[in-house]
Amino acid sequence: MSVRVLIVDDSPFIREVLRQVLTRDPDIEIVGEASDGKRAEKLVMELRPDVVTMDLIMPLVGGMDAIRSIMTRCPTPIVVVSDAQSDVRRLAMHAIEAGAIDTFPKPRAGFDEATADRLVALVRSAAQVRVQQRWERSPPPRPSQKTLERRIAKASFIGIIASTGGPQTLQRLLCKLPAQGTAPIAIVQHTSIGFTRALAAWLSSSTRVPVTIARDRQRVTAGRIVLAPDDAHLEIDASGEARLHHGPRINSHRPSGTLLLRSLAHTFGPSAVGVILTGMGDDGAEGAHEIEERGGLVMIENPRTAILEGMPRAAIQRTRSPVVGSAGRIGDLLRNAFTPRGA
């Protein structure tokens, strides 16, 4: 499938680098370039690209304003390609809030083959995002509300997996949670190296419960939310401690959502809860299957409402009776696990 890309950056050198990197893939076509946000808005309307790569710091109209305008006038998948400095990382999180799909840091030492491949894969993934998505199957029937509330209230640990489009979806879900609770949460969010800390800070600013980067051998206590760090697998052991390691990538992912959910399945059995949100591919699907096999509860974002349907669809296909709903609906249900018993 051909992917038509508009490159937006005020540096002619960077635009040429991005052109060379992206056209390594014969299916990617650069249909236009812009040096500021105002020109980008005009070209999006004229060219209707499949994906826009967007710098943030530009003259005239910056990337943030351009993203807001494009998402209002002509919604288009946008990948922020910008510096990984701390201030810009924070700005990138606001860009995601405004509607960008994902972020990618400009490599300071230039693009090596692996970095180039990651950007190409991200752009191809973003191109699959559609405003209206079709899904061949209807969501499986849900258990009764009372049954769900009982099961979630007994949750010992919750694992959440997300990829492309995950930051804004996580924000929508986590903002539902109250300040105090009884169930710890661990999150695997696939993101570019260098942006995880900014993501944690941004999510913390949007929820009543602080989101922190997991530390090795940290005990994850009730009502805490931890995020897998850059380039490290996160598992939870029988004592409720986070275990980080740099084992082999699983289906190209490190951290791996399946590995996290598998550890919850084996450690907590029927009281484990696994949540699969937006993303490309099938990370987490096998882990969700294992949670279900051991009697735990699986919740999956409805592919019809997900920014990218691949991961939710794969998880539904791998499980028998998951709870399927929008991110907001899942957040409402998880609130039960985050409400102190007796409150």
Q: Which structural domains are found in the chain, ordered by start? A: 3-126 (3.40.50.2300), 145-334 (3.40.50.180)
For residue 20, pLDDT beyond 90: yes
Q: Contact 315/300 with Cβ under 8 angstroms?
A: yes
Tell whether the model's pLDDT for residue 2 goes beyond 70: yes
- The pLDDT of residue 143 is 64
Q: Which helix (H) or strand (E) covers residue 41, if one does?
A: helix 37-47
pLDDT value at residue 137: 45
pLDDT at 141: 56
Task: Convert the pLDDT of each residue in 328-343 to its tens digit.
Answer: 989 988 887 666 554 4
- Average pLDDT score over residue span 152-158: 89
**Whole-number pLDDT of residue 21:** 95
pLDDT at 131 over 60: no
The mean per-residue pLDDT over the stretch 107-121 comes to 89
Q: Are 225 and 211 in contact (CB under 8 A)?
A: yes
Whole-number pLDDT of residue 340: 55
pLDDT at 139 over 90: no
% of the chain beyond a pLDDT of 70: 92
Q: Is 80 exceeded by the pLDDT of residue 201?
A: yes
Report phi then psi at 298, rounded to 5. -115, 130
Q: Is 256 a catalytic residue?
A: no
- Per the annotation, the verdict on 283 as an active-site residue is yes
Please report, for the chain, how many H helices and E strands are present, in that order.
12, 14
- Catalytic residue from among 69, 156, 190, 271: 190
Region of poorest pLDDT, from 71-85, 209-223, 260-274: 71-85
Evaluate if residue 134 carries a pLDDT over 50: no
Give pLDDT, residue 105.
Answer: 87
| Residue 69 annotated in active site | no
Mean pLDDT computed over 46-60: 91
Q: Which of 163, 192, 263, 271 is catalytic?
A: 163
C-beta separation of 33 from 7 below 8 A:
yes
Among 183-187, 310-314, 335-339, the minimum mean pLDDT is found in 335-339
Q: Report whether pLDDT(142) > 60.
A: no
Which residue in 36, 55, 102, 283 is the catalytic one? 283
pLDDT for 45 beyond 80 = yes
Cβ partners under 8 Å of residue 109, min gap 6:
none
Give me the residues paired with residue 128 across strands: none
Taking Cα atoms as reference points, which of 183, 184, 216, 189 lies closest to residue 203? 189
